[in-house]
Structure formats: structure tokens, C-alpha cells
Amino acid sequence: MKESENMAKTTISCPQCRQPVAADITRLFDVSQDPQAKQILLSGAYNLIQCPNCGYQGQAPTPIVYHDPDKELLLTFFPPELSVPVNQQEQMIGPMINKVMESLPMEKRKAYLFKPETMLTRQRLMERILEEDGITPEMLESQQKRLNFLQRLASTSPDARAEVIKQEEELVDEELLMILGRLIQSAAASGEEESTQVLAGLQQEILENTEYGQEILAQAKEQQAAIEALEKASKEGLTREKLLDLIIEAADSEIRLVTLVSMARGGLDYAFFQLLSERIQRASGEQQAKLTELRENLLEMTNEIDKAIKEQQGLASQLLDEILEQEDIEEAT
């Protein structure tokens, strides 16, 4: 946050003992002036105080104005615990709104600036900001439930974790594993080895003790089997005929089939599909129908892979063009 503009050294009353405390307080969070304002507000890492009298540590209750011109969002929040009459609230918040308007050129002073939205709680303030990013209160609640579950599980003794997992199995889904995966990555990136090991252990217990987890483990097993089969064939000398045999054997397992096609896309060329067509012609009845369906699936998979590669190449080419268009290439990079 830009200290000279929006942060001020002031004296406030401690929320706990009511004694005066000197603190750096930010009341205006304006994204147009500080791109980090939104992240700072959402993180809660602002207006933190430590009272030298009673030892209180936490967030100081202060009025807040949040402004994001790109989203045409102007929000105000006045902590109810301050017990300030509405007319006085307006007198305190008004100058901050005026400051927002004065910082904008005339062409950007739009109607939303004259109709600030009043948030009754700090939680609602956070939710309203996130709603503009497509994150609903329901999504936040869902995430919080899963975080609470992981916290509870981490504080449970190892011999009782299976029972806790069973009680909360409805929370075990793709979202939970994504959250847990991010926590593991964050801990590892921070060099927190103990936390990383604890979280990885929780992940394994969740996978082993839930129906959804068993499905994930089974998929991982199928994927590993496909990788090992392809590696073995490669060591022995991988030909189109051997690749076709591997793919036919994997036809009944979507995970195994997708893995093989993704890893061996280069081998699924015109000659490969000619071999497959010859197999179809020589087959009959149910086997012929099965191979025909396999060919259709393979064509669809390869088209999807090629489309994704083309999109990536297009993005890379666009980025290169943008860099080359800059007068100073070193500055652009």
C-alpha cells in the first residue's frame, strides 16, 4: 500500500482495553492507485496493531473504502463495533470518496462513483469483491468447509483419523484434493519439510479411506501401467504394430488409453491409422465393431491434442510478435 497516499500514522483505541495505541492505518484501498490494494485487503494483512497495555494483537476496527475502476466498484464498510451514528459515518467516509473521484480523469468519473455500495460486515465486503471475479459466497463456503476439515484432520491423532475421514467423506472430492495439493506445494516451496510430510500423509490417508480416493488411486494405477508398458515396448524397439497392440489392449480402460495416446501422439500418424484400418477389415462381428469405435475415439483424441498444441503455438507466436513490436526488445523482456 502506498504509505504516503493512503496509509497514515494515527492513534486509535485498543478494541480490548480502550487505551490509545499508535498505528499505521489504511482506510482507502484504491486499485487505481495501488494494484496490490485488492490483494492486501483480501489477505487481511492490514491495520494490524499490538497494544502495549493489554497485549491485544489483531486488526484495528476502522472505516474502509474500496475502489476498483475496472470493475466499476466502489464499496464502503464501517465497523458496527465503533457505534458511530450514520451521519458521522458519512462525514468520515465522504472525504475518502472525494479523494477517489479527484484521482480520476473526468472521462472516468462514472455514475457508480455517486452510488457507493454499503457493506454491513467485513465478510460481506470480501465476498462482494470476489463476486466480481466470479467467486460466489457459496464457493467460498464450500472451500472453507474443506479447509476446516483438513485442519480438524491435522489436529486429530493418527489412530482416529480414519473415523474423522469417514464422518466427513462427503467433503472428499476434486476440490478438496486441489486445495490439499496447493497446500502441499506451498509448504514445499517455503522449505517447510515437516508440514509438507504431514500434509502428504493426510492426502494418502484420505485417498486410502474414501470411495473417491480409491477411484483416484485406481486411475493412477492404470496410468502407471500404461507408462510402464510403453517404456518396455520402447526399450524393445517400438514399432507402429507394437503401439497398435498396446492401444488395442488398453481400449477398455479410458485412463490407460488417454495416457498412451498423450505420450505416443507422434506415432499415431497416417501409417498407424492405415494399420488399424487393415485390422478392422480383417476382423468381423463384435471385434470389428470394437476396433471401429476405437478408431473413432483415437481420431477424436488426436484432434483434441493437435488443437491444444496449435493453441499453445499461437499464444507463443503472439507473444513473440508483441515483443518484436516493442522498440526496445530488452525492455520488453
pLDDT in tens, 179-203: 999 889 888 888 888 889 999 999 9
Rounded to whole angstroms, the Cα distance separating 241 from 258 reads: 18
Q: What is the model's pLDDT at position 330? A: 52
* Phi-psi category of residue 44: left, alpha or beta, with phi > 0 → left and psi -120 to 50 → alpha: left
**Residues 36-42: contacts with CB under 8 Å, at least 24 apart:** 36/1, 37/1, 37/6, 37/66, 38/66, 38/68, 38/129, 40/1, 41/66, 41/125, 41/126, 41/129, 42/126, 42/129, 42/130
Residue 47, pLDDT > 90, answer no
**Percent of the chain whose pLDDT exceeds 70:** 94
188 touches 196 (CB < 8 A): yes
pLDDT of residue 4: 37
Q: Is 66 within 8 Å of 97 (Cβ atoms)?
A: no
Euclidean distance between CA atoms 21 and 48, whole angstroms = 11
User: pTM for the complete prediction?
Assistant: 0.59
| Residue with grid cell 480402460, as numbered in its chain | 253
pLDDT at site 331: 53
Q: Which pLDDT value is given to residue 328?
A: 55
What are the residue boundaries of the structural domains of the chain, listed by start? Answer: 3-134, 138-209, 233-325
Average pLDDT over residues 66-95: 91
* pLDDT (average), residues 243-249: 95
Average pLDDT over the chain, rounded to an integer: 89
Confidence (pLDDT) at 2: 44
